[in-house]
Amino acid sequence: MKTITCIAIDDEPLALGLMVSHIKKTPFLELIGEFDNPIDAMEFLQDHEVQLIYLDIQMPDLTGVEFARTLNNASKVIFTTAYEKYALEGFQLHALNYLLKPVSYEVFLKAAIHAKEQFNIAEAASNSTSENEISSSNDYLFVKANYQLRRINYQDIIYIEGLKDYVKIHLESEQRPLVFNATMKSLEERLPKENFMRVHRSFIVNLDKVTTIERYRIVFGKERIPISKQYKEAFDDFVKLKFLK
């Protein structure tokens, strides 16, 4: 991937100017629009392909969260705001990151590099395999990723993360996740239901690896996996079954 096309949306002129300045000085980002309201940005998106949106949350008429819900999967979002309480809601909307104002260039650059890595993963996955190239057995599954056929033992899987039309399988035995084209539904159908549970539209967890739960988030090291309302009842049943009274 050469450059990432971006726009910035913020109703505060100083905050918008700072974000525009950060984008322009970052070599792999290409600024193609800046807006002081989400309505104008919405019209712009109808005629332009935008990969990354730097989006303020607190705006009149239409908040950043409301605007993000109107987006299709083609555009990714990095939220900017002065209020940390919106972080979880932003995460549930599949935001790539969440930046607290005022945003220093160091913090901005770290988030931009992370975004670039995510786009590179998606690009590599789209060239590696189709979702039909998955087969499973009692204890393992085979997937084709990076032009290789890989055997993955179920007990090596910590959790699975869905990102648009590809997935990331996080393994105990490897530092980097395994990435390939597939849907969460196709994987969910192949995994043993007694060991794996979908807890969010973007996450499937290995129940044998669940050791810590806090505020309806499953803790895997530094990662926090949200449990959405849709899957909360089934997960609660699992916890009650295993709970030592």
What are 138-190's pLDDT values in tens digits? 688 888 776 677 889 999 999 999 987 788 999 999 988 888 888 888 888 88
Residue 180: per-residue pLDDT: 84
What's the predicted TM-score (pTM) here?
Answer: 0.55
Starting from the edge strand earliest in sequence, which strands make up the sheet with 178-181, in order?
178-181, 166-171, 157-163, 203-206, 196-200
pLDDT of residue 244: 60
**Assigned CATH class of 4-126:** alpha beta
Q: Which residue has the higher pLDDT, 181 or 12?
A: 12
What's the CATH number of domain 134-242, 2.40.50.1020, 3.20.20.140, 2.60.40.10, 2.40.160.40?
A: 2.40.50.1020
Give the strand pairing for 203-206 and 157-163: antiparallel
Domain assignments of the chain as residue spans, ordered by start: 4-126, 134-242
Nearest-angstrom CA–CA distance, 187 and 189: 5
By CB neighbour count within 10 A (0-12 exposed, 13-18 middle, 19+ buried), where does 92 fall? middle
Q: What are the distances in angstroms from CA 214 to CA 85, 107, 211, 217, 227?
A: 16, 27, 10, 5, 10
How confident is the model at residue 129, as a pLDDT?
46
Q: How far is CA 124 from CA 102, 132, 146, 166, 181, in A?
A: 34, 17, 8, 10, 9
pLDDT band for 121, please (50, 70, 90 cuts): confident
